[in-house]
Structure 1
């Protein structure tokens, strides 16, 4: 996952990229850095956002043709993907000096960071929240698999990097799949042969065996992600790469209820089906997976899920909310005003807060439609999925603000 930066002047980075002024670096990774960009020239779409995220190739990798190809592939794929659960790409540009992708600016946290913040407090995500997030990612993957090229032929896009780090939850309660940098079109016309790419603990067995891939590879990775969200444990990760690969190939896959007894039986069955090593026994499509999850999540639960997700992110990351709000302050003299959604208000007194959980089965659980939770204070709060050595904490009892 990309590491965070507090926005500020970055004298070593670009100051202008295409139609965008570069405001500050906000994250960095192995091959690219993420900058905050502000529109200075209008684009073809009058509804285009004024503030964007600019994914820029790092100087030290710009001479590597493999990196350039991956970057262009990501851009070529992303510009076609217009879906509410996929980060929106606005512009792709590569030349001899710079390569960048302008994307919608996502304000919130990855589900990996949310999970880490819960683990810090000895909690697990509510199974309904985990199921809803996984269902929306499944919708996004199905869309990517079905989208067509200019001649109307399905592209059969495989993401190949479905992990908790690449599932984002916004402060408005939206779920977005990000980072198609490892994506592959099934016939290989863009990305070539089946290379062992992606994060090892989320590879499917057929990737390790170098078999031809299809959309069921993403289903297995999504199954691993789902298992980990429900249990707050790592499924396949081991101390070495060799041990991790062997665990993916043949390690035991425990029923989620062995670790998290509060998970409903139907959810456990869905997870087990997604994690079948024999892909012919897996879900045939991500739409089938999403259908089963949505059938579990009755309409009333789905209708309030955006509000619950928003409350969850605001509760776990209030300081980051205030920091990201500052990203959007327009420069002096600007007539443009952009703002984050407001923090959820305190619920009416008839609503309950976060109840204490039994030590043997901690779970992040709340009454619907609670819009704010009481959690133990963290000093400082965990940032962007950072690891911590703090012991587990028990949830705080509800107070007057939560009742």
Structure 2
């Protein structure tokens, strides 16, 4: 690792990617004692000089800062340092979906159907959150991604699925920068985008349908010898069913894909959540002997597909952990202007140039111990924004990721696996009732609470730190409660006596999730 480069409130540790829009660095924010890692995108000078593009880009980014969903890589800070613009996001160790599809294609292996359905369902859930997002006054933000493509779907080594780069396509298209920013992505546009017509959230449904078709068939849906020929194929939107390229796919799955890819937006799924709900049954396996599509299964295929990259990531994080704190020195004499931050972020004054913050050692990150372990029958999906998104939480096994330390109650042997109910959009955050979970404070000026999102596959009573929460959870209901930071005991109890208990770590201003819990 080279010497960290001071950059405003951040220290740039290592450059990890260069694209048509930006170069990306692993970074830490000075003054943060937790050693949290960020992915910092520096907009390339050729785009930074385009005032119209920057104006459009900043307008879109200000909207995206307001999005808060576990499958959306959050923007923590948007700003200008010197003459350049930057975005600070969560750092997620992993690869994008394009890399995984290319690796599977090179090996001649199809993507397992349950895994393709799982990835698409998670992206659909994130898109639905963005499409329905409203501001503090209740006005719809009308966020449309416009660039749903494999390159913008990040797959973590921990099994998480995240989508990035909301709004960049909008800025590129309206300022005629598409040749720079969107090169190679025209095949994922919707017909209405190609025609230059107004687009809404259903355009993202079409693009996700293109991605799903590619995951199932292993081949790009709209390809051609030139970009013009690709755009013409998109405009016509003549789509063969996936089973034509991959015999054996269920006709019901064909119907889902073809509906998402309807040329007329009115014939598509109305909302991304409708597509998500249609895909959920296929995440449990098409055949009885087929393992489900879930985070542990995704973690296994990522580890086996990218063993060298995973070990390099472990080495990188271990070096960061062992490295001595850098010499405290100010950034070059350039002014930093913070344009937007997430509500839970430290104020721009903290960790500014010349701050005493150093590089704290990140927590230990280790290779999953059971890469070859058989997949559990129906594990709950347990994710957390801090460990999964920051990218260096402990991966204790491929079958269990992140922030809970308590035991997981296994299903009784031989119990039938019920299909998961449709997952509704996340409910609004509600404060927890007074009690152990609602007491305590942190340092002045810092968030004193975090959020906990829970979901059981069947109707159950939620018991939080020993107190039953009312009303009971409906089957598949996602409920988000506000709790104090720290560990919380979470239990699910059904009327027929089944129980499952977990201990979940919640950090200040962040959301931890315990979703898809099976009580059978």
TM-score normalised to structure 1 length: 0.76
Bigger mean CA deviation after superposition, 53-62 or 278-287: 53-62
In the alignment, does 2:119 pair up with 1:119? no
Listed as ranges, the gaps of 5+ residues in structure 1 are 1-6, 185-189, 352-368, 372-403
Q: CA deviation at 1:251?
A: 5.4
Contact 2:57–2:168 (CA under 8 A) maintained in structure 1? no
Q: How do 1:356-395 residues align onto structure 2 when only pairs under 5 Å count? A: none
Give the counterpart of 1:38 among 25, 28, 43: 28
Q: CA deviation at 1:51?
A: 1.2
Contact 2:152–2:163 (CA under 8 A) maintained in structure 1? yes
Give the counterpart of 1:103 among 77, 83, 89: 89
Contact 1:157–1:183 (CA under 8 A) maintained in structure 2? no
In the alignment, does 2:309 pair up with 1:317? no
* Partner-residue secondary structure (3-state), 2:28: strand
Bigger mean CA deviation after superposition, 26-35 or 303-312: 303-312
Contact 1:158–1:183 (CA under 8 A) maintained in structure 2? no
In structure 2, the partner of 1:64 is: 50
Contact 1:194–1:210 (CA under 8 A) maintained in structure 2? no
Give the counterpart of 1:343 among 368, 380, 389: 368
The alignment yields a C-alpha RMSD, in angstroms, of 2.9
In structure 2, the partner of 1:239 is: 225
Give the counterpart of 1:277 among 252, 263, 271: 263
In structure 1, the partner of 2:315 is: 326
In the alignment, does 2:100 pair up with 1:75? no
Q: How do 1:139-218 residues align onto structure 2 when only pairs under 5 Å count? A: 139-182=125-168, 198=182, 199-218=185-204
Contact 1:163–1:222 (CA under 8 A) maintained in structure 2? yes
Q: CA deviation at 1:41?
A: 1.7
Contact 1:49–1:104 (CA under 8 A) maintained in structure 2? no
In structure 2, the partner of 1:16 is: 6
Bigger mean CA deviation after superposition, 175-184 or 18-27: 175-184
Contact 2:114–2:284 (CA under 8 A) maintained in structure 1? no
Q: CA deviation at 1:219?
A: 0.6
What whole-Å deviation, never above 9, does each CA across 1:129-177 have from its counterpart, x for those lacking one? 0011001000010000111123221111100000011111101100001
Q: CA deviation at 1:337?
A: 2.7
Contact 2:149–2:188 (CA under 8 A) maintained in structure 1? yes
In structure 2, the partner of 1:252 is: 238
CA distance in 2, matches of 1:93, 1:62: 12
Change (3 A) 1:85 1:268: same
Change (3 A) 1:168 1:155: same
CA distance in 2, matches of 1:111, 1:327: 22
CA distance in 2, matches of 1:50, 1:350: 31
Bigger mean CA deviation after superposition, 32-41 or 170-179: 32-41
- Higher-Rg member (1/2): 2
Change (3 A) 1:212 1:263: same
TM-score normalised to structure 2 length: 0.59
Change (3 A) 1:339 1:242: same
Q: CA deviation at 1:279?
A: 1.1
* Partner-residue secondary structure (3-state), 2:155: strand
* Partner-residue secondary structure (3-state), 1:106: coil
Give the counterpart of 1:294 among 280, 293, 302: 280
Structure holding more strand per residue: 2
Contact 2:284–2:293 (CA under 8 A) maintained in structure 1? no
Contact 1:142–1:286 (CA under 8 A) maintained in structure 2? yes
Change (3 A) 1:294 1:302: farther
* Partner-residue secondary structure (3-state), 1:297: helix
* Partner-residue secondary structure (3-state), 1:80: coil
Change (3 A) 1:346 1:289: closer
Q: CA deviation at 1:273?
A: 0.4
In structure 2, the partner of 1:392 is: none
Q: CA deviation at 1:296?
A: 3.2
